[in-house]
Amino acid sequence: MPNREGTTAMPSSAATSGSHDVAVIGLGGMGSAAARSLAARGARVLGLDAFGPAHDRGSSHGGSRIIRQSYFEDPAYVPLLLRAYELWAGLERDSGADLITLTGGLMIGPPESTAVAGSLRSAREWDLPHEMLSAAEIRRRFPTMAPGPGDVALYEERAGFVRPEATVAANLRLAARAGAELRFEEPVTSWRPLPGGGAEVLTASGRYTAGRLVVCPGAWAPRLLADLGVPLTVERQVQYWFAPRGGTAAFAPDRQPIYIWESADGTQVYGFPAIDGPDGGVKTAFFRRGEPCEPDTLDRTIRPEEVRAIAEHLAERVPDAPGRYLRGAACMYTCTPDEHFVIAAHPRHAGVTVACGFSGHGFKFVPVVGEILADLALDGGTALPIDLFDPRREVRT
């Protein structure tokens, strides 16, 4: 039956038990991309999600996510980002959806800060186009920004934002078009490898078998991947939207870049242009300043003291941005101790591939993670560099 996102969903009361080539648990950012890539290669795909298509119950919502190449987290991510940019273009072409916008991006802070020094390291190691700007140059080129005398910035022209809900919806449409069976409102309760190969998946209303299993459970990873051997924590994170003082003209995407701004104490705040017209406001949030939570009982109420804290922090840096508060939304990060991803064959179960622990910086990688997961599930390996994401790695925090 058609659903509101234009994909084809089976009614949850009509659970089937027939075998599929690959079952995908979780149809958010990574799972929807995996389902699309698998189905495009001719696999018989079953996709399962606890909620509806492109929902707001997990981590892939909020209208925008930053995309950038000069990656301060680790230069090892850059090859994946370069491939991701190619795949974002292909996803836009194949879906006809508006998914990625390049506005330029500023990584601001003291020269020794992670945001600046780490970005510069990646840019130099991979010969990425970039500029280094002084505080005076930042103010001259981007008048909305108010850096302190000790701040500098790495400017990357190819940074910008992607659209999470539209991306998930596009992947689901293309997966269904390629023959994937997508089932929503059907939470997975458990899964297990089968003695003769393959896996069995139990849901609230059905039992399924598949030759291979791909598990992309987002914030439910601690429950569904309890034997992975990686300690995962789930954090509540809040996104905020403000109507800027003086209107949105100065914050239009052709004038205002995305930014990640690191203070001397290590606090990072990030923000976007006014990407949804004069009524959409500008979005901002703290990066990794969350609190532990459980996904099924996430507190979605935005507290006044939270709004005050982000507004006060932003007022010192982007003074006109925190005008009238418009709205907020809670989402979740699922974090590993070293804040690097887990993308690998399950170390304990043959035929099971896992993707989790994206630690608040994963969405920009969605199309390339989908490609990697299809490689691992169908071919048993991938040419793309993913050693950093092995769950058996030595974790350094």
Res. 16: pLDDT tops 60:
no
In this structure, the number of other CB atoms found within 10 A of the CB of residue 226 comes to 9
Reference 80, options 361, 377, 269, 396; nearest CA is 361
Domains and CATH numbers, the chain: 20-59+165-232+338-389 (3.50.50.60), 73-162+233-335 (3.30.9.10)
* pLDDT attached to residue 372: 98
Q: Residue 278 — very low, low, confident or very high, per pLDDT cuts 50/70/90?
A: confident
Tens-place pLDDT, residues 313-326? 999 999 999 999 99
Reference 215, options 342, 359, 333; nearest CA is 342
Secondary structure of residue 20 in the 3-state scheme? strand
CB 342, CB 214: distance < 8 Å: no
In this prediction, residues 128-142 reach a mean pLDDT of: 98
Res. 158: pLDDT tops 70:
yes
* pLDDT attached to residue 390: 98
CA count, 13 A, side-chain hemisphere, 201 = 31
CB 152, CB 15: distance < 8 Å: no
* pLDDT attached to residue 1: 29
Tens-place pLDDT, residues 174-211? 999 999 999 999 999 999 999 988 999 999 899 999 99
Please state, rounded to an integer, the average pLDDT across all residues of the chain: 94
* pLDDT attached to residue 18: 57
Cβ neighbors of 177 (< 8 A, separation 6 or more) are none
Amino acid occupying residue 318: V
CB 257, CB 106: distance < 8 Å: yes
Res. 5: pLDDT tops 60:
no
Beta strands 282-287 and 268-271, pairing class? antiparallel
Q: Residue 19 — very low, low, confident or very high, per pLDDT cuts 50/70/90?
A: confident
End-to-end Cα separation, the chain, in angstroms: 47
In this prediction, residues 48-62 reach a mean pLDDT of: 97
Backbone φ, ψ for residue 256 (5° rounding): -110, 120
Indicate the pTM of the whole model.
0.94
